[in-house]
Structure 1
Amino acid sequence: MISRRHLLGGSAALGACVALPALAQSQPLRIGMLTVKSGALAAGGRQMEDGFRLFLKERGERIAGRAVEFVVADTGGQPALAKTRAQELVQRSNVHVVVGPTAAFEALAINDYLQEAAVPFLCCSAAAEDLTQRRLNPWFVRTSSTSAQPCHPLGEYTARDLGYKKVITIADDFAFGQEQTAGFQRTFEAAGGTVIRKLWAPLNVADYGSYISQIGDTDAVFAAFAGANGLRFLRQYAEYGLKQKIPVVGAMTTVDEGVLHSMGDEAVGIVSAGWYSAALTGEANQRFVSELRKQTGVDPGFYSAGAYSAGLALEAALTSIGGKAEDKEALIAALRKVEVGNDPRGPWRLDNYGNPVQNIYIRKTERSDGRLVNTVVKTYENVSQFWTYKPESFLAAPVYSRNEPTKL
């Protein structure tokens, strides 16, 4: 016999089950962002936050019908602190998704934890190769690129279109700089060029003089720097009188718009490659650039665009599942199927490994309307993280590093 108490209890439980989805929808969508607010990478960290906040502002602080609670955590650019901040976002703030971080070494430091915690990890900047290659995390999706993805076309372009035969490389001595250099070297040498020397500078170095003094007898220099390091290197390179003698080709962030506004003639004429340029003429980009310029006074670049893209991807995924972020499995499954057509950088889709297949633009830094811009001179369409190689053969080789693909 069922007592009235049990009957009422059962009815209440049934009502609670019915009400759960509605209750979840009435709760805020909690998004945590890991970024850097101090040190060499701080400029990029601030721009990441600017890009995502613009996305939220345009949507009235709501995504897929849900109000957004946006929590920003400063990692200080330190792997150990990045992990602590990730744990705080998950365990204390109970975020539905983590966006960020800024640097590759930070992403590597928190990847295992977020996988174990089964939290969707929407990476909008950190470009560590293996996170979408040999160390796959089913909870990880990237909206920027791998480190080497833009450098593969640049290496080929440098040899075939620019005709350079010998190149010396210089880069930040951490995963991002190492992987960018390796990707450039692989395709530059495959196209007939030779990397004759590799120079590595600590991330927080202030004076590049000892490295610049080792540059000579080369057709060009490939430079791969993040944050404000590109500004410091190019300025000192010009001061040492090398700009007019040996041209520089750069990785995307070396002349990123986030620091380009602080540069002068030292940046003019530099050829670089990236998945974004503020000079792109599409309507979505013109609107994006205009709004961020009003907000920050400068053009957006790598970090702002990647974070804005993360917002677009999250919006598309949540809309497809009715905003139910509490269903983490459904959310990450939807994120991994995302195709974005209204991105300022142009359309992109994710490959089977969670990394964008997208246009890569060869850019030349020029003056226009009183400011420096990265004018697009050539477009490589639908570029994969594996370039023209089959994924199986690409992944059978060691991950790009200081000493791979060759030991110079």
Structure 2
Amino acid sequence: MRITRRDLMQAAAATALTGFAGETAAVEAAGAVRVGLLTVKTGPLASGGIDMERALVMYLKERNNELAGRKVELIVADTAGVPATARTKTQELVERNNVHCLIGPLAAFEALAIDDYIRLTKTPTLSVAAAEDMTQRHPNPWFVRATSTSAQCAHPMADYCSKELKFKRMITIADDIAYGQEMCAGFQRVFEENGGKIIQKLFTPLTTPDYGAVVTDLKTDADGIFLGLAGSNGFRFLRQFVEYGMKEKLQPVGGMTALDEAVLRNMGDEALGIVTACWYSAELDNPLNKQFAKAFREEFSYDPGFYAGSTYVEAAVLESALKAVSGTVEGKDAFMAALRATKVDTVRGPVRFDEFGNVVGNVYIRKVVRKDARLVNAVIKTYPDVSQFWTYDPKQFLGNPVYSRDFPPAKNLEK
């Protein structure tokens, strides 16, 4: 039998259609995209962890729980802010619930605790946690972060303190965890390279019940104090700081989470005028954020902050990547490549990733003001396109040790 060119073309077309139909059928047969959320619903970080869940649920509900043509099943796990529990919950989500990807965890020490497991199981993870080295000296190929590293917002905050506020002498205080240590280290590096001095460094346990003794031990011959506290700790420290009359002696400034909207709603005049740095504010003037912040406020009666913004942004990255692979999340390599190639407008502004999977995006200097009878973080300055390496050469940056209690060394401490 003679086979013509036309026969070959028809056969090829039929094969292509069959293949496309097969892919479509495979996607439909695979069912929902299963997303695991690692968050914190108990302990001192719970206020932020609850906001993570609320914002992610909101994002999915706005899309009828469907992304890129596939239904989404969300499975939530409470890590309690404990590294061992974070690892156990991650294993349950991957091995029992067969999730296709993870969003979270909240804390840097939790991300470090599950790092090797993510690598071993090749589980795509969209992290909220700021653990520096997971996108630096020991990058995890199954990890992207659309929030920031611990120090990514502390670098511009230090720049602002030295150049705009004209501070020369400062104190830092933070939770004694990886996040707090790394954030204060980045702040110290930039502040001292700009000519300032860190004269006192304090680290307190994450579960500190009372800050009275810490407050009374603060040096008062400094210009200001940088707060690297998370969850409800920033709120509790600042309240005692004000009660002891220290706000008149030291000007407090803060990192990403110190005066988050999740705790700002419980504060009063003691928070007014305090400047912080973060990649997000509910007051950001862009269409996506206006819609999100309004909807969140209407449902929960307070503004979204760092933690709510984090999962809402990660969900936008997830949706963009899923669209890029036509919903075929089962192809792990292609899906992970799509995550890292994502460039998308979000409630925080434009998001893209560097070669290590960490976000490059705007950082905002914010000031607490009263608006419509509530406290808000008003944006007063924007540092555009901030990377995890600040203004440093990446190779030189990575040639140094990871930020910690001991690096950079504290050369200006006073007894």
TM-score of Structure 1 vs Structure 2, range by shorter chain: over 0.9
The answer as to 2:182 corresponding to 1:179 is yes
**Conserved? CA contact 1:25–1:323, under 8 Å:** no
Amino acid at match of 1:399: V
Cα deviation digits, residues 378-403 of structure 1 (max 9, x gap): 11100010000011000000000011
The answer as to 2:252 corresponding to 1:248 is yes
CA distance in 2, matches of 1:159, 1:19: 60
CA distance in 2, matches of 1:186, 1:129: 15
Shift of 1:87: 0.6
**Conserved? CA contact 1:140–1:354, under 8 Å:** yes
- 2:310 is aligned to 306
Alignment partner for residue 238 of structure 2, among 210, 234, 238? Answer: 234
Alignment partner for residue 103 of structure 2, among 99, 104, 112? Answer: 99
CA distance in 1, matches of 2:85, 2:290: 37
Alignment partner for residue 351 of structure 1, among 346, 354, 361? Answer: 354
Runs of 4+ in 1 over 3 A off after TM superposition: 15-21
CA distance in 2, matches of 1:156, 1:214: 26
What secondary structure does 2:207 align onto?
Answer: coil
What secondary structure does 2:257 align onto?
Answer: helix
Alignment partner for residue 197 of structure 1, among 200, 206, 225? Answer: 200
CA distance in 2, matches of 1:25, 1:225: 45
What secondary structure does 1:254 align onto?
Answer: coil
Amino acid at match of 1:362: I
**Conserved? CA contact 1:359–1:383, under 8 Å:** yes
The answer as to 2:375 corresponding to 1:372 is yes
- 2:294 is aligned to 290
User: After superposition, where does 1:262-273 map in structure 2 within 5 Å?
Assistant: 262-273=266-277
Amino acid at match of 1:29: V
CA distance in 2, matches of 1:251, 1:64: 35
**Conserved? CA contact 2:27–2:327, under 8 Å:** no
Amino acid at match of 1:255: L
Shift of 1:264: 0.9
- 2:402 is aligned to 399
- 1:319 is aligned to 323
**Conserved? CA contact 2:367–2:379, under 8 Å:** yes
Shift of 1:190: 1.0
What secondary structure does 1:336 align onto?
Answer: helix
CA distance in 1, matches of 2:199, 2:169: 6
Amino acid at match of 1:23: A
- 2:69 is aligned to 65
Shift of 1:406: 1.2
CA distance in 2, matches of 1:170, 1:192: 20
What secondary structure does 2:38 align onto?
Answer: strand
Amino acid at match of 1:107: A
**Conserved? CA contact 1:74–1:85, under 8 Å:** yes
CA distance in 2, matches of 1:140, 1:179: 19
CA distance in 1, matches of 2:215, 2:223: 15
Structure 2: runs of 5+ lacking an equivalent: 1-17
User: After superposition, where does 1:333-348 map in structure 2 within 5 Å?
Assistant: 333-341=337-345, 343-348=346-351
What secondary structure does 1:293 align onto?
Answer: helix
- 1:332 is aligned to 336
- 1:42 is aligned to 46
What secondary structure does 1:252 align onto?
Answer: coil
CA distance in 1, matches of 2:317, 2:20: 30
Amino acid at match of 1:197: Q
Alignment partner for residue 32 of structure 2, among 28, 35, 45? Answer: 28
Aligned-pair Cα RMSD in Å: 1.3
239-248 or 228-237: bigger deviation: 239-248
Cα deviation digits, residues 20-45 of structure 1 (max 9, x gap): 65133341110011111100111111
The 3 A distance-change label for structure 1 pair 353 and 16 is: closer
Amino acid at match of 1:344: V
Cα deviation digits, residues 221-259 of structure 1 (max 9, x gap): 111110000100010000000112211010010011111
- 2:90 is aligned to 86
CA distance in 2, matches of 1:185, 1:309: 29
What secondary structure does 2:318 align onto?
Answer: helix
Shift of 1:16: 11
Alignment partner for residue 366 of structure 2, among 360, 363, 366? Answer: 363
**Conserved? CA contact 2:130–2:149, under 8 Å:** yes
Shift of 1:323: 0.3
User: After superposition, where does 1:218-229 map in structure 2 within 5 Å?
Assistant: 218-229=222-233
- 2:133 is aligned to 130
Cα deviation digits, residues 195-245 of structure 1 (max 9, x gap): 001011100001111111121211111111100001000100000001122
Cα deviation digits, residues 42-87 of structure 1 (max 9, x gap): 1111011111111101111000000111100111111111111111
- 2:7 is aligned to none
CA distance in 1, matches of 2:402, 2:26: 46
CA distance in 2, matches of 1:117, 1:36: 23
**Conserved? CA contact 1:25–1:324, under 8 Å:** no
- 2:170 is aligned to 167
How high is the TM-score relative to the length of structure 1?
0.94
Alignment partner for residue 120 of structure 1, among 124, 127, 146? Answer: 124
**Conserved? CA contact 2:39–2:52, under 8 Å:** yes
Cα deviation digits, residues 140-185 of structure 1 (max 9, x gap): 1011100000000010110111011000111111011111101111
Amino acid at match of 2:212: G
**Conserved? CA contact 2:289–2:348, under 8 Å:** yes
